[in-house]
């Protein structure tokens, strides 16, 4: 599965917001940290906010902050907020086409290819579901401390 760069930006922002930041962090500050356009970043932050992962605080000291503890936000939550919840593989039943086409009544079960893809996607989603923003932030800190 190929994810857009927005997932990476969103994950980095969630990690920053998880690190004991008391005040909301302005989008301009987050954009500056990663040398990215504030407009581009704001689009992804709005997706995170729409899914309830972060919230926007208005005013002179406004910005973004997590809506709940980082250990309760999974990497999969962030991926879903940015990419949606669609599946990576969509079976189009090509086995029912062409000169060797199978009859529809013989295709009541998902084919072998669809089944293996479903299992693979569930494994991928499970791994992302098992990793929290806190886990990622702790790893970033650990790696930065050893670098």
- Contact indicator for 133, 78 with CB cutoff of 8 Å: yes
11 CB-side CA count, 13 A? 23
Tokens of 78: 């962030």
Predicted confidence (pLDDT) per residue in 103-144, tens digit: 777 667 778 888 999 999 999 999 999 999 999 999 998 998
Residue of 85, 50, 53 whose CA lies nearest to 69 = 53
Alpha carbon distance 5, 43 (integer Å)? 12
Is 17's pLDDT higher than 60? yes
Predicted confidence (pLDDT) per residue in 76-102, tens digit: 999 999 999 888 888 777 667 777 777
The label of the residue with tokens 């992302």 reads 128
Tokens of 9: 């930006």
Tokens of 15: 């990690």
Sheet strands (E) in the chain:
54-57, 63-66
Residue of 62, 44, 61 whose CA lies nearest to 53 = 44
For residue 146, the model assigns a pLDDT of 62
Give the residue, 19 or 98, on which the prediction is more confident.
Answer: 19
Predicted confidence (pLDDT) per residue in 37-62, tens digit: 999 999 999 999 999 999 999 988 88
Q: Is the pTM of this model over 0.75?
A: yes
């Amino acid at each position: 599965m190929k994810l857009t760069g927005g997932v990476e930006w969103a994950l980095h922002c969630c990690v920053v917001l998880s690190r004991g930041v008391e005040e909301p962090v302005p989008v301009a500050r987050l954009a500056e940290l990663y040398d990215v356009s504030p407009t581009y970043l704001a689009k992804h932050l709005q997706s995170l906010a729409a899914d309830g992962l972060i919230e926007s605080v208005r005013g002179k000291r406004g910005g973004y902050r997590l809506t709940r503890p980082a250990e309760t936000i999974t990497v999969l939550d962030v991926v879903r907020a940015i990419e949606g919840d669609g599946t990576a593989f969509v079976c189009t039943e090509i086995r029912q086409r062409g000169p060797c086409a199978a009859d529809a009544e013989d295709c009541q079960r998902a084919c072998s290819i669809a089944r293996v893809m479903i299992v693979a996607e569930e494994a991928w989603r499970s791994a992302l579901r098992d990793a929290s923003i806190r886990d990622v932030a702790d790893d970033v800190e650990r790696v930065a401390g050893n670098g």
